[in-house]
Chain A
Amino acid sequence: NAGVMQNPRHLVRRRGQEARLRCSPMKGHSHVYWYRQLPEEGLKFMVYLQKENIIDESGMPKERFSAEFPKEGPSILRIQQVVRGDSAAYFCASSPVYRGFEQYFGPGTRLTVT
């Protein structure tokens, strides 16, 4: 059973470009979470999704950021018009149900904005 998969592992974008981060949850997991780890800061929750539903996006910046988890395919975190402050490690986690079970994390995508 493969773990949570994220790609790309490293992504370099110039200011103003779009960044697309992908996350495939573990087999049998229908709940996906995105977290961001800024340099010298802890991991912060961004968004929680189930298939075709955004359950909680309270941690998402109001502009430029969006997330989806379609019926088929991976979850996507999209950042439009990236700025240097978006440089961070973005982690995806999945769990089989929304509460009470461990969240399993992917290896992360390290985004660098030049």
Chain B
Amino acid sequence: KQEVTQIPAALSVPEGENLVLNCSFTDSAIYNLQWFRQDPGKGLTSLLLIQSSQREQTSGRLNASLDKSSGRSTLYIAASQPGDSATYLCAVTLLTGANSKLTFGKGITLSVRP
């Protein structure tokens, strides 16, 4: 059974700091991995999607990397801003079977202090 872990559960940093959010998963037979952002009381916004054949994806100040063999992904946020404060979720799709359901971690709640 696939399990996705995100540690720590919460993180507080001063504005301007570069930071790394970690995600680990137990079954390396994944099809892809997505990083999402969730603001309080809101839905999920997809940030980056990494296919299993890729090592990283970039969008603006965000960079996500994937190491399938070790079961890890990181989301790098450069020059953090108060507007980056949110919960960041990673989720994986398994390779096997016909289902493409996402298995989520519990998320990391990020607070960027002005």
User: Do A105 and B44 form a contact, CB below 8 Å, given A48-B101, A56-B101?
Assistant: yes
Q: Please choose the segment from A11-19, A69-77, A91-99 that sits at the chain B interface, where 4 or more of its residues have CB less than 8 A away.
A: A91-99
Number of interface residues of B (CB under 8 A): 25
Tell me the dominant secondary structure on chain B's binding face. strand
Which residue of A is nearest B48, CB measured? Answer: A102
Q: Find out whether the CB atom of B99 lies under 8 angstroms from the CB atom of A102.
A: no
Q: Find out whether the CB atom of B102 lies under 8 angstroms from the CB atom of A45.
A: yes
**Which among B34, B41, B43, B100 is the interface contact of A98 at CB below 8 angstroms?**
B100
Q: Find out whether the CB atom of A42 lies under 8 angstroms from the CB atom of B104.
A: yes
Task: Give residues of chain B (32-53) contacting chain A, Cβ–Cβ below 8 Å.
Answer: 32, 34, 36, 41-46, 49, 51
Contacts of B42 in A (CB 8 A): 107-108
Task: Give residues of chain A (67-111) contacting chain B, Cβ–Cβ below 8 Å.
Answer: 91, 93, 95, 98-100, 102-108, 110
Q: Find out whether the CB atom of A98 lies under 8 angstroms from the CB atom of B31.
A: no
Q: Find out whether the CB atom of A91 lies under 8 angstroms from the CB atom of B101.
A: no
Contacts of A43 in B (CB 8 A): 44, 89, 91, 102, 104
User: Do A33 and B101 form a contact, CB below 8 Å, given A99-B93, A100-B51?
Assistant: yes
Q: What are 15 A-B contacts with C-beta separation under 8 Å?
A: A35-B104, A42-B89, A42-B105, A43-B44, A43-B91, A43-B102, A44-B104, A45-B101, A93-B102, A100-B51, A102-B46, A103-B34, A105-B44, A105-B45, A107-B42
User: A residues bordering B, Cβ < 8 Å?
Assistant: 31, 33, 35, 41-45, 48, 55-56, 58-59, 91, 93, 95, 98-100, 102-108, 110
